[in-house]
Amino acid sequence: MNEIGNCRSRTGIIFSEYFLLHRTGRNHPESPARLQAIIRGIKHLNLLKNKRCVLIKPRIAKLDELEMVHSLRYIRAVRNLCNSGGGILDEETGTLVSPESYAVARLAAGGAIRAVDMVMEGKLRNAFVISRPPGHHASRASASGFCIFNNVALAAKRLIDKFSLSRILILDVDVHHGNGTQEIFYDTDEVLYISLHEDPSEFPRSGFIDEVGKGKGKGYTVNIPLPFGASDPAYWKAFKSVVVPIVLCYKPEFILVSAGFDGYFKDPIGELLLSASLYLKVFQVIIDLAHRLSGNRLVAVLEGGYCPSFLKKIVPAVLSRMMNMEAKVTEHRPRFSITIHKIAEKIIKEVKEIQSRFWNL
Ligand SMILES: [Zn+2]
């Protein structure tokens, strides 16, 4: 591992082999193979030998850190289930734990906390937390959608509590709505939560356009639900015409990305038809926004993405861009449906109408 003292211009890769020890059983899509593929991709590009990059070990999140977001009762329930040999945390979504999962989930949470600490302390330029289990479906007192502790929410809370930030953007590009993250920050203006996702009617049944926050948080939740089968042009239009103008208005002090890659057209779970080049284009805009608005303070935290051969390609490419290096991805384009595109355009128009009550769109 490189020296940490010399890292302020470097991109941190937060990773530990321990993340592979959370076992979900045979044929479960959220498997250790996802991270193994990413690490193979990183090695293939020789990123760890590059001076612009540094491998950082995560640390275990302390109990009181987890309590920034989760109830003690829930944390103990996770611990007890793992200590008794593991089992099902949430039946409906197939959220399972093995005996090691409590420690591994705390390590994933601690990895996200460590990443924001190091960026804030000027020890890293930006960072990508390559961890599992993912987090954005985990709410204050329940697990869901393969998520146990909400890593990105814990990172945001850390920025508020330790570093007194009050304008944090969480941009959720996972194909599913981050119901846990939305719930945790629904009534605050200190976190702007923006999510682009597929139709959430079946799962997680939140993330509709009229969910905009409440109380002080009104206007600080932005949901863009795209119809099943929507592809690059609709996603790009939503991103450029809704996400970017709102972020420019908000002027975040820190950008956190819930980096899910399950909108990819070959993903076995996601129902959008996005390409690798769309993801790269979106991340480049996020990197540029962080440069322009947040002093480059950007941390991406891995969420979903269940096509290991795609993760192997896209995560190292995004990392290269975060390191200010060229990265290209080539592939066949997913199919495009004009009918679905028109439905998507109508939804984007409705989102703009609703959000223009709060933002200059
Ligand atoms: Zn997802």
Q: Which range marks the domain in which residue 169 is found?
A: 12-355
Residue 42 lies in a domain: yes
pTM of the model: 0.97
Q: Nearest-CA neighbor of 173 among 143, 151, 193, 191?
A: 193
CA distance 45 to 281: 19
- C-alpha to C-alpha distances, 331 to 34, 183, 229, 274, 311, nearest whole angstrom: 20, 37, 18, 12, 14
The alpha carbon of 101 and the centre of ligand 1 are apart by a number of angstroms equal to: 19
The alpha carbon of 146 and the centre of ligand 1 are apart by a number of angstroms equal to: 9
Q: What pLDDT does residue 331 have?
A: 79
H/E segment holding residue 138:
none
Residue 5 lies in a domain: no
CA distance 299 to 305: 18
Residue 85 lies in a domain: yes
Residues assigned a catalytic role:
137
Q: Nearest-CA neighbor of 14 among 121, 107, 105?
A: 107
Residue 7 lies in a domain: no
Q: Could you please report the per-residue DSSP string of 37-100?
A: HHHHHHHHTTGGGSTTEEEE---PPPHHHHTTTS-HHHHHHHHHHHHTT-EEEETTTTEEE-TT
Q: What pLDDT does residue 21 have?
A: 98
The alpha carbon of 305 and the centre of ligand 1 are apart by a number of angstroms equal to: 6
Q: What pLDDT does residue 29 have?
A: 97
For the chain, which ranges sit under pLDDT 50?
A: 1-5
Which amino acid is present at 198? Answer: E
Q: What pLDDT does residue 3 have?
A: 44
Count of residues making up the chain: 361
Question: Taking ligand 1, which is a single-atom ion, which protein residues have CB atoms under 5 Å away?
Answer: 174, 176, 260, 262, 304
Q: Nearest-CA neighbor of 15 among 146, 98, 114?
A: 114
Number of independent structural domains in the chain: 1
The alpha carbon of 193 and the centre of ligand 1 are apart by a number of angstroms equal to: 16
Q: What pLDDT does residue 280 have?
A: 97
Q: What pLDDT does residue 7 have?
A: 60
Q: Could you read off the pLDDT of 144-180 as tens digits, one per residue?
A: 999 999 999 999 999 999 999 999 999 999 999 999 9
Residue 191 lies in a domain: yes
CB atoms within 10 A of CB 345: 15
Residue 241 lies in a domain: yes
Residue 285 lies in a domain: yes
The alpha carbon of 145 and the centre of ligand 1 are apart by a number of angstroms equal to: 8
The domain spanning residue 189 has which CATH number? 3.40.800.20
Peptide bond into 133 cis (omega under 30): yes
Residue 63 lies in a domain: yes
